[in-house]
Amino acid sequence: MAGSDRGKAARVSLFGRIFLLNALVLIIATAVLAFSPVTVSTRAVSGEMVVLGAGLVAMLVANAVLIRVGLAPLDRLTKAMTTIDLLKPGPRLTAKGHGEIAELITTFNAMIDRLEAERGFSSARALSAQEAERRRVAQELHDEVGQSLTVVLLELKRVADQAPAHMREELRQVQETTRSTLDEIRRIARRLRPGVLEELGLVSALKALTAEITTGLTVTKRFAKDLPDLDAETELVVYRVAQEGLTNTVRHAGATSVELALQNHPAGVELRIRDDGRGIGDAEEGAGIRGMRERALLVHAEVEITALARGTEVRLVVPAR
């Protein structure tokens, strides 16, 4: 029973509790004036009752308006608390109100600043560790597994050359299977660690990316020729966002065409990926999209995911160096 009573009390808003308490005081005061011997006349007449009732209503309305205006900053703070997303930074609340209310809003803004800073630091460390692990795995695939398979291919060729004629065809098929496996391992290693990004730059890396993971799609590529310089970390963020966006298109969109554009933007550089698939609809953002947002925050960039009439558009705007 006690828990049920607390639940009912919690459902009454702060405005409702303050208003009801003030209304109770005003109603008691009015009743005392109306029925106490200490009145204008020994017995309150009907005209005085009308005046007292009208005065009570006017005081209740004024009380409600004043309380609502005074608590408006708390309503905005409550809405901000329920809708805030650390991956989508927005403007801070203005510290309006008097005394403790303004101080509460200022404290809330400081808390959000601290949480965003701590999340950014934690995300940077996690993504840095992730990239280091990707490089390690890619290096092992290339140096160990890749070289071992290369040796296997050479041995198969030697054996096939010396084998009887009726066995050579089967050995050739084993060679082709091994060669396909080696190509796949090299492709995975390139996706884990885009060496072309470090050696040839962002545009070449994006061209190679579209050639690798958009099989079956009509791909339109648009790259501006006078792009401003980006530092290595920013280029890696752009590449990973493009990689995730194209992967989502291939796996989930059911699209027939996709456009990848890297253009100038007043703030720096804009990456845009647009497909003609089924779109995201009302689906919640998955780990891939949230990962894109986390990466973008590391370089003070912005990611927008927009549902089109047909398809989805991903826009990333990064500041130039």
Question: Which pLDDT score is estimated for 188?
Answer: 80
**Rounded CA separation 107/93 (Å):** 11
Question: Structural domain boundaries of the chain?
Answer: 13-114, 128-192, 195-319
pLDDT at 117: 74
pLDDT, residue 272, reads: 92
Token pair of 128 as six digits: 């840095």
281 Rama sector, left if φ>0, alpha if ψ -120 to 50, beta otherwise: left
**Topology adopted by domain 195-319:** Heat Shock Protein 90 (3.30.565)
pTM of the model: 0.60
The pLDDT tens digits for 172-231 are 888 888 888 888 887 787 777 777 777 788 888 888 888 877 567 888 889 988 888 888
* Residues of the chain falling short of pLDDT 50: 1-11, 39-40
